[in-house]
Chains A and B, each alone.
Chain A
Amino acid sequence: MGLDINKALDGHSRVLGLANQRLQLLAENIANADTPNYKAKDIDFLSAMQAADMQGMQVQETNARHIATTAGPNRAETLYRVPDQPSLDGNTVDAQMESSAVAETAVRYQATLTFLNQRISAMRMAITGGR
């Protein structure tokens, strides 16, 4: 019975990738909070994680001319947010919601880093035998 290091860390790295992408989108939204006609963007974290799970099943290429799947597992489809209170200038950014989303994503990211650290120290313990 072997331990695949890639598999052991894969789920967590996916969360990091998605949180990364979401933080970037939220930064764009906050930067464009005063831009007329800018539409706020976001990703759906849950469905992105589910999609990443589905991509674990690889498509078989039986012919050399088959096109490889290009969708990266660490990125989700960008969606436009449905505004609660659209403003007159066509901007759909809600600064308060964006700030709370940044905080939420940051906590998620830090939690994942903690899990990763624990897993790495557990593997290190297994390698060194606890010495």
Chain B
Amino acid sequence: MGLFKVFDIAGSSMSAQSLRLNTTASNLANAGSAAGSAEEAYRAKQPVFQAVLNDLSTDGASAGVRVKEVVESNAPPVKVHQPGHPQADADGFVWMSNVNPIDEMVNMISASRSYKSSIEVLNTSKDLLLRTLSIGQ
């Protein structure tokens, strides 16, 4: 029954989008984190999505989505001169994270929209299934 697969597909999408929201929350929380060297500085994390085949038995080959990996942004950390900072190096510099809060807010909105569309599809399928069950009554 095809409509049941919609639950799996929408579920995989919701789980992937919630991981995206998690990375966004982590990035925003660490937007102001400082470190004593460029290597230790927090780098923005982004998930990479991948279509995944669930079922090869049908010609449609149902495809959900999964998070293939979480990559770190390779933008350079921001070097700030703050001699009073407890983590400052010998020359008085600290490295701030390379998180761009605007990018993260956009990502958050995009993730929440995608999450909502998946819920919409799920609810539609659920209504249709329930109506199908009550056929002929």
Contact = CB atoms under 8 A, between A and B. Distances in A.
A24 B6 contact: yes
A21 B58 CA distance: 10
Interface residues of B, number: 39
Contacts, number: 107
A52 interface: no
B124 A31 contact: no
Contact of B51 (A38, A110, A117, A121): A38
Interface of B: 1-3, 5-6, 9-10, 12-13, 16-17, 20, 48-51, 58-65, 110, 113-114, 117-118, 120-121, 124-125, 127-128, 131-132, 135-136
23 contacts: A21-B60, A23-B124, A24-B9, A24-B60, A24-B62, A25-B60, A26-B121, A27-B9, A27-B10, A28-B9, A28-B62, A30-B114, A31-B64, A33-B114, A34-B17, A35-B51, A38-B51, A38-B63, A75-B58, A103-B124, A110-B128, A110-B131, A120-B136
